[in-house]
Amino acid sequence: MANKELPVLNTLPANGKAVITRLSYDCSKCPAYCCTYDWILVTKRDIARLAKRFELSYEEAESKFTKFIKSYGHRVLRHHKDDIFKTRCQFLHPTKRNCTVYEHRPDTCRSFPEEKRCGYYDFLTWERGHQDDETFIPLQQ
């Protein structure tokens, strides 16, 4: 399988010359593992963005889309039951496996995985190669 590298926004290094950063993963070929993390942190700014998207008050969006995890000390996105993994972010489409609020997604989602590589994608492509099955999903419930 060919590794498709996707361009991302140009970044400016200290010398001021633009450099194109390349990612070594393709989210469109993944079952959205990162969207199934138990706690997807949201900020007040994220909640306000979702409120605007759904034409809700801040308080309505906070109540409808998030919950406070006392032991974590933060608000996180609510989840729904998932057919592939245990649960998923409520904004992840259950069959298309894409974000239904992509333009309004939380900052955590915008910056993930914060590196050029995604460990789950590396594992996924390795496993699919060994299984000789481009649609195989390891760790499926």
Residues 1-40: pLDDT tens digits?
A: 343 443 333 334 556 555 455 667 677 777 778 888 888 9
Question: Where do the domains of the chain lie?
Answer: 6-131
pLDDT score at 20: 54
Q: How far apart are the first and last CA of the chain?
A: 25
Number of other CB atoms surrounding residue 76 within 10 Å = 20
| 96 token code pair | 């298309």
- Burial (CB count <10 Å: 0-12, 13-18, 19+), residue 95: exposed
pLDDT in tens, 58-92: 999 999 999 999 988 999 999 999 888 889 999 99
pLDDT for 14 equals 54
Is residue 104 pLDDT above 90, yes or no? Answer: yes
